[in-house]
Amino acid sequence: MGQRGVVLDYSGALKFFRREELDMLAPRVQAIHRQMAEKQGAGNDFLGWLDLPASIDQAELEAVKAAAVRIRESSEVLVVAGIGGSYLGARAALEILKPYFRPTPPRVGDPEVIFVGHHLSGAYLEQLLNYIKEKEFSINVISKSGTTTETAVAFRFLKQLAEEKYGKKGAAARIYATTDRRRGALRRLAEEEGYTTFVIPDDLGGRYSVLSPVGTLPIAAAGIDLDPILAGAAAAYDACSQPDLERNQAYLYAALRYIFYQKGKSIELMVNYEPALHYFAEWWKQLFGESEGKDGKGLFPAAVDFTTDLHSLGQYIQEGRRLFFETILAVEQDRSALVLPEAPGDPDGLNYIAGQRVDEMNRQALRGTLLAHQDGGVPCLVVKIPELSPFFFGYLVYFFEKACGMSGYLLGVNPFDQPGVEEYKKNMFALLGKPGFEERRQQLLARLEK
């Protein structure tokens, strides 16, 4: 490959644990490694992600790339309808790998990618429909069942607009459905209408699906080369195949999380110093939150954007209750050559840093904050990322997936189910008057009237 991987620097946490604690965890880590490799243990029917980087279906990959070309050649906008793992990975990739600002307006050949179906805001949806109705657009609807409320509501409106604009046959040619191989409302609709379809494998949960067509189709449609992403994931697959804590950085991260959890830390703060990483942290929050938050267990995953949030949460992090530790995403390569100019008369008092790159200022802000938070009693882990590139995006995805599997098993939970997610849905269905929920509806209304 010629590229090194990410490195976990835990020097900022050394005074908060003893080396023997890691050594005592090593046999458990090795046992769990064997369990995962042999596809045993709780949730083993959802381990399709485990070997995915080494077993990419080349025919499917070529089909994804071909569909992305068709989308780009016909569309000014691609609307991606999905929620949770059905959109967060792709959105994270686009935020990391595309420019902050589009150099040109959306156009055929270089479509804008817009995400919807991950909330129930009528204002957002209405404004989106008004925005795209005069543009050439395609739709990628992502749902295993086809009945997830937020996504299904958005897709009903999008489908209606597409059919009004292009006719049923023309709309069908612009709708791409990523769904279950055989079952579900979206699978039936796609076959009836003739949509191009891609499969969410049965053994792949949504939050582990970034490297499947769930993530790769919108990423490729945005004009991002999939090959280096998959190469990065393959490199992480190799690097994370070792059972030894010292040789497997993902397992080391999982073990340290567990140690801090056992010491009473209940919150993990994912910290970034680059706005491009905001949605990667959102993906990470779902990955760990849904995987670990069950049976009364689990770290609460939270994310902060520094230095922005240092001006809102910095005081609490420095001197509030000692409930958390930090995991910092540190990008080593400068992304900009922008240098602060000298100002005559030094009106803002910044001439002492004139001539420095802004990225270097950001780096020193990271270092200074790291030391301050350590002094304030916050253990700090640093995930060093050589650069924000397609290769390292793929690497990071697999790195955290592997760490999450290990971390969940260390906690003693099934990292691959999410039974608690269904409770809010049942209440929402009842309050909306869905057939079959009449008794629950009456119970909920009585509670709300108290």
Q: Phi first, then psi: what are they for 202, rounded to 5°?
A: -60, -30
Q: What SS3 class is residue 301? A: strand
d(Cα 155, Cα 116) in Å, to the nearest integer?
9
d(Cα 80, Cα 262) in Å, to the nearest integer?
40
Radius of gyration of the CA atoms of the chain, in A: 23
Token look-up 């409106």 returns 157
Annotation says 20 is catalytic: no
Structure tokens at 374: 């350590």
Please, are residues 376 and 317 in contact by the beta-carbon 8 Å criterion? yes
Neighbours of 55 (CB within 10 A): 10
Q: Which of 387, 425, 426, 438 is catalytic?
A: 425
d(Cα 101, Cα 121) in Å, to the nearest integer?
25
The burial of 433, by beta-carbon neighbours within 10 Å (0-12 exposed, 13-18 middle, 19 or more buried), is given as exposed
d(Cα 146, Cα 152) in Å, to the nearest integer?
6
Annotation says 290 is catalytic: yes
Taking the alpha carbons at both ends of the chain, their separation in whole angstroms is: 63
Helix (H) or strand (E) holding 425: helix 421-432
Q: Please report, to the nearest 10 degrees, the dihedral formed by the alpha carbons of residues 176, 181, 185, 188 taken in order.
A: 80
Find all residues with CB under 8 Å of 76, minimum gap 6, and list them. Answer: 106, 107, 108, 111, 112, 135, 136, 137
Pairing of strands 324-331, 380-385: parallel
Please, are residues 140 and 80 in contact by the beta-carbon 8 Å criterion? yes
Please, are residues 206 and 364 in contact by the beta-carbon 8 Å criterion? no
Please, are residues 217 and 67 in contact by the beta-carbon 8 Å criterion? yes
Q: Which of 290, 292, 326, 401 is catalytic?
A: 290
Pairing of strands 175-179, 137-142: parallel
Token look-up 């950001």 returns 362
Q: What is the DSSP letter of 277?
A: G
- Please identify every residue annotated as catalytic: 290, 425
